[in-house]
Amino acid sequence: MTQRGAVRWTDPALENVTGLPVESLGFVMPVPVARVSDDGHGGHDIEASPIGIASSAGVLAAQPTPHGNYTGVWLSQYEYFSSGRSGSFTGLHYVVLLQHGNRVTARSLPGSSDSPLTMDLELDGHVVTGTWTEQTATDGYYRGARYHGAIQLLVEPTGRRMSGKWVGFGKAFGVNTGPWELVFQDASTNRATLDQYNRRPDA
């Protein structure tokens, strides 16, 4: 289906398969907009207008709220202790969050780190619980090792930050943990925005 030359899309399967927002693939997502019906009774119908397409309500843009949609670009930052180097380090990624109902996926932008990061999360009010996986760089300190574990975050009332803890396995059958936070950067997931954040985050 097309509207004003834009391809509309309503099935989240494409995002789930590619791990990319549909806007970056050339699609636009419909957003409900109230309009007066033509039945003469003064009622309202819901009409879907694509994000980024001007309508009688103006140009629409998704904004994260404490009980709303968290789709967008976020800065991921976690801390971990390296026993081999006897010190604490910080992992930084720009990630794209995609939300469908209470399910949220996160995928790091490739230019933001040599170690791709993914997260599969579930929302329950202000609590975010799920799993994470990181494939370390083949030429880095961990020689391409794949690490994974669990994560639980609390969403601040502003809806602009999620902070909590990660847990994961370490060497010698140890289980490690540390702080992890996601900080909101941009609600847009179009190609221009993703290109802007497809770089190393500032330390």
In this structure, what CATH number is given to the domain that contains residue 91?
2.40.160.90
Give the model's pLDDT for residue 72.
Answer: 98
- Indicate if 26 and 123 belong to the same structural domain: no
The parent domain of residue 98 ranges over 72-197
Q: Please give the C-alpha separations between residue 12 and each of 66, 76, 136, in angstroms, as whole numbers.
A: 22, 23, 28
Which residues in the chain show pLDDT less than 70? 1-67, 203
Domain assignment present for residue 64? The answer is no
- Indicate if 97 and 139 belong to the same structural domain: yes
Do 78 and 92 meet the contact criterion of CB atoms below 8 Å apart? no
Domain assignment present for residue 8? The answer is yes
- Indicate if 42 and 80 belong to the same structural domain: no
Residue-wise pLDDT tens digits, 82-140: 888 889 999 999 999 999 999 999 999 999 999 999 999 999 999 999 999 999 988 88
Structure tokens at 5: 């030359």
Of 31, 34, 33, 29, nearest in space to 8 by CA: 29
- Indicate if 122 and 181 belong to the same structural domain: yes
- Indicate if 124 and 177 belong to the same structural domain: yes
- Indicate if 91 and 158 belong to the same structural domain: yes
Q: What is the pTM of this model?
A: 0.69
- Indicate if 30 and 110 belong to the same structural domain: no
- Indicate if 24 and 88 belong to the same structural domain: no
